[in-house]
Amino acid sequence: MNSSEESAVTGMSAGRPALRMGPAELVQAAAMARRFYLEGKSKIQIAEEFGVSRFKVARVLETALERDLVRIEIRVPAELDAERSDRLRARYGLRHAVVVESPAQAVEESPDPENLGEVAADLLGELVAEGDVLGLAWGRSTIHMAAALDRLPPCTVVQLTGVYDAGTAERGSVEAVRRAAQVSGGEAHPIYAPMLLPDSATAAALRNQTGIARAFEYFDKVTVAAVSIGSWEPGISTVHDMLTDEERAHYASLGVAAEMSAHLFDAEGRRVGRDLGERCITVEADRLRRIPEVVAIAGGQRKAAAIDAVLRSGLVTSLVTDTAAADQLLEAGPAPRPALDRADPDGS
């Protein structure tokens, strides 16, 4: 063991000196602590080595902690805020909540810092298992996430929404699906169609096209999904930006606070403007609710209210966000029902 490890095991804090442990006790306690904390030996193994009972070993290790012979530090990478993450998970009843430190240069007008995508990529590497079906919805954050992927078990990857603009498919969600499938070595099922169509008849006709219909067949098989969240304002929601001024005003009058995969929500997480979905190529809300793990990726102060609304919808189980959004979410009104209940606020 090197000198830094030795000091971590035997060092005393300035505030609390050891209380009358003799040199033999100190040496034995340090040795036992070294075996347990640094070498990973069990209490039974340590007891056999030192010729004492495992209960004696347990008492010695407890004393070593009480008297600062051992100092335990819990450290995560600097960019992750463990305390906010845990509080956010508990507040919304999420399976996972990961809060990333907002970039120092971040400004209020800049939602979804790119580092959210990098952390979300690592989280997917943990959550996806071999044989899973991974669903990816359109969104800047999911595109950043796909670009950052460097490990995934073998899995099928399916696109959950059409693209913002069919002409940008190579740089958007189609490419994200291809990238994820390339990393995993699995099949890719992209959707070569716009997200929003002029009317419901055109959307229905597209859904019946062979390639799109094949992707839709996988929706009920998706086990892990990654989605983005948008606020109902210019530049923060791709769906908002695709509509006419008259349409935006109409949906705003319904109390839209958030958008996710072309589904609109009010501040309480209730779905509004359901007619919009009839014109969209997207996974249905009831199918999203049945997916075991739905990870939302969204951050920034401007998105905090939208994130709160979507977390109340019962469609999301986990969240990757930043400290700017997390601080506002933690100060929001009464806590909602646990997200893992997957309850529909409409009761329908």
Distance CA 295, CA 317 (A): 6
pLDDT of residue 165: 59
Residue 152's closest CA among 174, 122, 173?
122
Q: Which of 110-119, 235-244, 276-285 shows the lowest per-residue confidence on average (mean pLDDT)?
A: 110-119
Distance CA 38, CA 1 (A): 9
Q: Which two tokens stand for residue 236?
A: 């923060």
SS3 state at 280: strand
Q: Which two tokens stand for residue 20?
A: 């009358």
Other CB atoms within 10 A of residue 199 CB: 10
Q: Which two tokens stand for residue 338?
A: 């646990």
CA distances from 257 to 151, 269, 310, 326 (A): 35, 9, 9, 17
Is 54 exposed, middle or buried, given 0-12, 13-18 or 19+ CB atoms closer than 10 A?
middle
Full 3-state SS string of 35-102: HHHHCCCCHHHHHHHHCCCHHHHHHHHHHHHHCCCCCCCCCCCCCECHHHHHHHHHHHCCCEEEEECC
Please say if the pLDDT value at position 214 is more than 50: yes
The gap between the terminal CA atoms of the chain, to the nearest Å, is 62
CA distances from 228 to 52, 204, 210, 214, 258 (A): 57, 24, 27, 23, 11
121-167 pLDDT per residue, tens: 999 999 999 999 999 998 888 988 999 999 999 999 999 999 875 44
Q: In the beta sheet, which residues pair with residue 322?
A: 100
> What average pLDDT does the segment 247-255 reach?
92
pLDDT band at 18 (very low <50, low <70, confident <90, very high): very low
| Phi/psi at 259 (5° precision) | -135, 135
pLDDT of residue 76: 57
Residue 231's closest CA among 192, 266, 184, 205?
266
pLDDT of residue 14: 37
pLDDT of residue 237: 78
Distance CA 224, CA 336 (A): 23
Distance CA 63, CA 46 (A): 16
Distance CA 317, CA 302 (A): 21
272-328 pLDDT per residue, tens: 999 998 999 999 999 999 999 999 999 998 899 999 999 999 999 999 999 999 999
Strand duo 133-136 + 224-228: pairing: parallel
Q: Which of 58-62, 225-229, 331-335 shows the lowest per-residue confidence on average (mean pLDDT)?
A: 331-335
* Contact criterion met (CB below 8 Å) for 343 and 286: no
pTM of this prediction exceeds 0.85:
no
pLDDT band at 5 (very low <50, low <70, confident <90, very high): very low
Distance CA 290, CA 58 (A): 46
Residue 323's closest CA among 116, 123, 177, 179?
116
